[in-house]
Amino acid sequence: MTQTRPTARGAVFLAALGADAHRLHPEILAQMRAPRAEDTAEGVFEVAGSRFGRLAGLASPLVGPRMLVSRFGQNVPFTLTMRSGRSAAGRPTLDTSREFRFPGATQHMVDRLTASVHPGLVRNLLGARGRVELIEECSVTADGSLRMQTRRVALRIAGRRFWLRGPLSVHVDLVDGWDDRARRRTIAMRARNPIVGTVLEYRGWYRYADAGNQER
């Protein structure tokens, strides 16, 4: 019986970037092309969380579990658990769970990325119920990092989509790069609202569980 080759680890990003994927740092590109149905990575955030503390949790009944982080800390260990696959329409998907190990408490965020039919874009459903939807544009920076920036945000309730604009909007800017000296991935994300400012951020580094086998 013919064996189906696992979806590439970064298939959702490769599909969005198209020909621009070749501009990624060679290490990032190699890791994205690796066939991995399931993955884990470990790292440390220099800073992570929300400075609004428990106030961030007030939105939980609306957006559902495993989306909001209600703590803020420094040198926070974290684990990424990822599963790549295909949607019913055959487009690449990536399910990611982020475990933040704050002192005295562990919190989780989950999301599902799906490559869009529109070049350069991905759809991101946040939280266990996928009630927050981001349309994000993928690009490659001058140093070969992957950059994702929000273009639209919507709240999905009772089968309807409500686009959030103006004071209700959130802009997410994420840069996923490579540290040549330490030979590890770097990550920096900030989510900002035009009224209250930064609502969530994290910045640090990570390595895939099989990184030792990939280093030359």
- The domain that contains 37 carries what CATH number? 2.40.128
Rounded to 5 degrees, φ, ψ at 27 are -70, -40
Strand, helix or coil for residue 182: coil
Q: What is the pTM of this model?
A: 0.91
* pLDDT classification of 201: cutoffs 50, 70, 90: very high
pLDDT tier, 37 (very low <50, low <70, confident <90, very high otherwise): confident
For residue 71, is pLDDT > 80? yes
The whole-angstrom separation of Cα 71 and Cα 49 is 5
Are residues 153 and 169 in contact, defined by beta-carbon separation less than 8 angstroms? yes
Looking at per-residue pLDDT, the higher value among 36 and 113 belongs to 113
8 Å CB contact between 110 and 67 = yes
The mean predicted confidence, pLDDT, of the chain is 91
Q: What is the pLDDT of residues 122-144, one digit of tens each?
A: 999 999 999 999 999 999 999 99
SS3 string, 123-159, reads: EEEECCCCCEEEEEEEEECCCCCEEEEEEEEEEEECC
SS3 category, 81: strand
Domain count within the chain: 1
Is residue 132 within 8 Å of residue 153, measured between CB atoms? yes
Domain assignment of residue 141, yes or no:
yes
Task: Tell me if 1 is assigned to some domain.
Answer: no
Domain that holds residue 178: 11-214
| pLDDT digit string, tens, across residues 42-55 | 999 999 999 887 66
